[in-house]
Structure 1
Amino acid sequence: MSVIERLKEEQKAAMRAKNKARLGAIRLALAAIKQLEVDGQKTLSDDEAVAVLTKMVKQRRDSISQYEAANRQDLADVEAAEVVVLQEFLPQPLTDDELAALIEKAMADSGASSMQDMGKVMGLLKPQVQGRADMGALSGLIKARLG
């Protein structure tokens, strides 16, 4: 079952269960996906839908930190609840060992030896880890290996 189909099924289940918080988060995700489909005049693939969900999770995490800095825990809690729902539809995150193995393989495949080769390594890794690892953390790990 594709990510979009799973979202639609879970939307129906949330409606039946009268779970407004979950339903709201799922509707936001479906609306973001639909907007991209309309703008691009095409149906999104699973990878593209995962990218949308990943971006939504990142935006909410940024909002949580801003709300907490402004002492608005009520708003931060709403965002945190949305993150939990959205993460259900993302692939399982990679473990540190799996990530290290992927970085080693990408460095060997690209022949990377210095910081100038970081773009090559990131280019190889991005499709493999999309939605399964934080790209900022991945970048830091690569820098540590190349530097």
Structure 2
Amino acid sequence: MTLKQRLTDDMKAAMKSGDKQRLGVIRLVNAAIKQREVDERIELDDAAVVAAMEKMVKQRKDSVSQFEAANREDLAAIERAEIEVIQGYLPEKLDEAAILAAIDEAIAATGASGPADMGKLMGALKPKLAGQADMGQVSALVKQKLAG
């Protein structure tokens, strides 16, 4: 079952059960997916759907920090609840050891030897780790590996 199909099925289940909060978040996700499909005139695959959902999580995390800075805990709580629902559809995040193993594997495959090869290495890692790791963390670990 594709991720889009799972979202549709969960939306129907949320409608039947009367879970308005979950239904609202799933509708937001579906709207973001549909908007991207219309804008780009393509059918999104699971990887692109995951990328869209990760962007939504990032936006909500930014909102949480802004709401907390403005002492609006009520709004921050709503954003946190939305993050929780969206993250339920995202793949499990890899731990640092698994990321380091993927980096070592990519170094062996690409022959990267120094900081100048970082772009080539990140290009090899991004499709492999997309949705499973924070690419900022991956970038920092790659820099560390190539420098040391």
**What is the TM-score of this pair, normalised by structure 2?**
0.94
Q: Equivalents in 2 of 1:121, 1:66: separation in Å?
A: 34
Q: Equivalents in 1 of 2:96, 2:33: separation in Å?
A: 30
Segments ≥4 residues shifted beyond 2 Å:
none
Q: Equivalents in 1 of 2:109, 2:70: separation in Å?
A: 46
For the residue of structure 2 that corresponds to 1:133, the secondary structure is: coil
**How far apart are residue 89 of structure 1 and its match?**
1.0
Calculate the aligned-residue CA RMSD, in Å. 1.1
**How far apart are residue 54 of structure 1 and its match?**
1.1
Q: Equivalents in 2 of 1:62, 1:130: separation in Å?
A: 20
**How far apart are residue 75 of structure 1 and its match?**
1.1
Question: Which residue in the other structure is 2:4 paired with?
Answer: 4
Question: Which residue in the other structure is 1:86 paired with?
Answer: 86
Letter in 2 for 1:9: D
State how 1:29-40 maps to structure 2 within 5 Å. 29-40=29-40
State how 1:68-107 maps to structure 2 within 5 Å. 68-107=68-107
Question: Which residue in the other structure is 1:129 paired with?
Answer: 129
Question: Which residue in the other structure is 1:64 paired with?
Answer: 64
Q: Equivalents in 1 of 2:71, 2:146: separation in Å?
A: 39
Question: Which residue in the other structure is 2:41 paired with?
Answer: 41
Question: Which residue in the other structure is 2:108 paired with?
Answer: 108
**How far apart are residue 142 of structure 1 and its match?**
1.0
Q: Equivalents in 1 of 2:93, 2:128: separation in Å?
A: 11
Letter in 2 for 1:78: I
Q: Equivalents in 2 of 1:125, 1:109: separation in Å?
A: 11
Q: What residue ranges of structure 1 are gaps of 5+ in the alignment?
A: none
Q: Equivalents in 1 of 2:76, 2:138: separation in Å?
A: 26
Question: Which residue in the other structure is 2:25 paired with?
Answer: 25
**How far apart are residue 39 of structure 1 and its match?**
1.1
Letter in 2 for 1:71: N
Q: Equivalents in 1 of 2:116, 2:132: separation in Å?
A: 25
Residues 88-129 of structure 1: per-residue CA shift (max 9 Å, x gap): 111121122211100111112111122111111111111111
Q: Equivalents in 2 of 1:106, 1:76: separation in Å?
A: 39
